[in-house]
Amino acid sequence: MKLVFATGNKDKLREAREILDGIVEVVGPAQLGVFEEVEENGLTLKENSVLKARGYRALCGLDCFADDTGLEVDALGGAPGVHAARYAVDVARRDGLPLPPDHDFSANIDTLLRELSLHPGEPRTARFRSVVTLTLGGGLHFFEGTLEGSIASVRSGSGGFGYDPVFLPDEYPGRSVAELPQEVKNAISHRGKALRAMAQWLKQNCNL
């Protein structure tokens, strides 16, 4: 069975293919000649996940799964949350500053560390949360995963993507996700947990 993963992110595609290997064939929209983007204007991770799954299902003509991921930092009241990918833009707009490029994670990390510096002494606990929506047989199926940890004061590591250089998972104290081997990251990651739950569901319900 072939499923479209509604992303153009090569790192996400690699992670999904590794986890779903031998269960389904995972393709990206670009492999099918689809380069349009689906607007993510939902107020929650689940809403955005559904928008992407339904949108790319319509564009690609194949069943599809999509994830939306947020970073929830306790000292910031759960921010950036659903706006993790455009956090720097949101804060710059709030403060009347020049807008950085959208989805610029170097700028997002700079913004996160600067915002946390305004809360000295408060816990830097945080979590990644992912919601995966699968369209299959006309229905929607949902899978979730979280990764608990804290935010470092400086970047470390050259692997991973997004906020990985400043996220310290509880399972590996003192090491950022960007310092972990890919197979270790896959084993503990929020998205990996949601995708493994989806893989298990597919095996149990689709005779794979």
Distance CA 51, CA 150 (A): 30
Residue 46, CA distances (Å) to 12, 35, 40, 129 in order: 18, 23, 11, 11
| Block residue for tokens 């759960």 | 78
Residue 68 is among the residues annotated as catalytic for this protein: yes
Q: Say which of 63, 67, 68, 164 is annotated catalytic.
A: 68
Enumerate the active-site residues.
Answer: 68
